Amino acid sequence: MLLLGIETSCDDTATAVVRDGRAVLANVSTNQDVFHAKFGGIVPEIASRRHLDLLSAAVQDALERARVTLAMLDGIAVTAGPGLVGSLVIGVATAKALAYAAGKPLYAVNHLHGHIFAAFLEGAAEPEYPFLALLVSGGHSQLVHVDSPVRMHVVARTRDDAAGEAFDKTARLLGLPFPGGPAVDRLARDGDPRAYAFPRHRAAGESLDMSFSGIKTAVKYFLETEAGRTASRADIAASFQAAVVDVLIDRLDRAAQRAPYRAAILSGGVAANSALQAAFRTWGESTGIPVLVPELRFCTDNAAMIAAAADRQGASVLADVRTLAADPNLPFVRPVPAPA
Ligand code: KG4
Ligand code: ZN
């Protein structure tokens, strides 16, 4: 299948052309960071206006780079949710119009499923089922048991901040620019991860849920103390990062003991973190479970992953071009939004 993917759930205006859910013929992404940086976070109204300005050209660009026409496509895949409603609406409306005009099938993809299928793009080996996905982004942190492209369930989630959100908030406490994750990662390279023992959230009973707000709050209080005011920012960043990574790997390890997983994948924006990637690979070596990290450009939000998910989920995510509605709260287990 030759699919056009469209992803506008947050602040990246992304389009892609993907063959058979694997070969990426074009991957276009227009980063909006420059428009949001001065506000220290994403401003939804600005994000949707930028999508409106950029999306038509981004669709054209992806088709040209892939050297295909709309008529050659087998379908159009779009993120239907979850995400910012104003942003999602621009992508969904554009995809419906294109699918209707070209007479092509429309596939409505759950953004989080997209992150999972990023692991199937371009790489040398495809993960085997069942696999465990550690999905860590700015909006979500969860462990997902994946039986097949259409059968999966969440086995652990964060009770408060997403891991990426904790990175972004801690970056702001440290006076680092937005987006905070990459800035903390860079600063932490010069720091000692054992300098400060920020609290790690422990698993309670049978639950594998995690929490990150306590680590961020501990950094905040420490920075207000005498010692904190003069402490090395790099040591604080490295120690914060180590605490987040410890919690994620602890839950991954516990979850992996509950089913015979044949692979584990790491995805979402925080998967770009160097300390997390290193710990994830070390964990894979120690358990013997094959681990897979998508290429960096497929870890953060992109449209190729949306086409990859649609290709594998097929008929189960087929949507009606007349009635598909963006759903900012699209549930994880129901891939296709109900007609409006
Ligand atoms: O998946 P993504 O691009 O968008 C969402 O769906 O949320 O993830 C963005 C998140 C942001 O919180 C950003 O700070 C974080 O990923 N991030 C990182 C790194 N690169 C991006 N966090 C830690 N270390 C990084 N290198
Ligand atoms: Zn995302």
- Distance in Å, CA 4 to ligand 1 centroid: 24
Name residues contacting ligand 1 (CB within 6 A): 10, 137-139, 164, 167-168, 179-182, 185, 268-270, 272-273, 300-301
The Cα–Cα gap between 138 and 119 comes to: 18
Annotate 136-153 with three-state secondary structure: ECCCCEEEEEEEECCEEE
> What digits encode the pLDDT tens for the residues 197-247?
999 999 888 999 999 999 999 999 999 999 999 999 999 999 999 999 999
**Is 338 a residue whose pLDDT tops 70?**
no
- Distance in Å, CA 70 to ligand 1 centroid: 32
Measured distance between the N- and C-terminal CA atoms of the chain, rounded to whole angstroms = 28
The DSSP result for 220-248, as a single string, is HHHHHSHHHHHS-HHHHHHHHHHHHHHHH
Share of the chain above pLDDT 90, in %: 87
The pTM score is 0.93
> What digits encode the pLDDT tens for the residues 36-95?
777 777 888 888 999 999 999 999 999 999 999 999 999 999 999 999 999 999 999 999
Mean pLDDT for all residues in the chain: 94
Q: Which atom of ligand 1 is closest in space to residue 299's alpha carbon?
A: 1
- What does the pLDDT average to over 292-303? 94
